Amino acid sequence: MSQTTYFTRYQSPIGELILAGDADRLSELLLPEHHGTPAAASPEWIASAEPFVEAVRQLDAYFAGELTDFDLPLDPRGTPFQMRVWRALEEIPYGVTKSYGEIAAHIGQPTAMRAVGLANGRNPLAIVIPCHRVIGAGGSLTGYGGGLDRKRWLLDLEARVLAVRTPAGVRA
Give backbone dihedrals phi and psi of 125, rounded to 5 degrees, phi first.
-125, 60
**Residue pair 99/134 in contact by the 8 Å Cβ criterion:** yes
The radius of gyration computed from the CA coordinates of the chain, to the nearest angstrom, equals 16
Distance in angstroms (rounded) separating the CA atoms of residues 99 and 43: 38
Residue-wise pLDDT tens digits, 114-145: 999 999 999 999 999 999 999 887 776 776 76
Q: Judge whether 115 counts as a catalytic residue.
A: no
Tell me, yes or no, if the two domains 6-63 and 80-165 fold the same way: no
Does the domain formed by 6-63 have CATH 3.40.1350? Answer: no
Residue-wise pLDDT tens digits, 16-55: 999 999 999 999 999 876 544 545 556 788 999 999 999 9
Q: What CATH number labels 80-165?
A: 1.10.10.10
Domain boundaries, the chain: 6-63, 80-165
Does residue 166 register a pLDDT over 90?
A: no
Catalytic residue among 17, 20, 85, 131: 131
Q: How confident is the model at residue 168 (pLDDT cuts 50, 70, 90)?
A: low
Does residue 171 register a pLDDT over 70?
A: no
What local confidence, expressed as pLDDT, does residue 47 receive? 93
What local confidence, expressed as pLDDT, does residue 172 receive? 47
Does residue 86 register a pLDDT over 80?
A: yes
Residue 18 vs residues 11, 34, 96, 121: alpha-carbon distances, Å: 9, 9, 25, 17
What local confidence, expressed as pLDDT, does residue 46 receive? 92
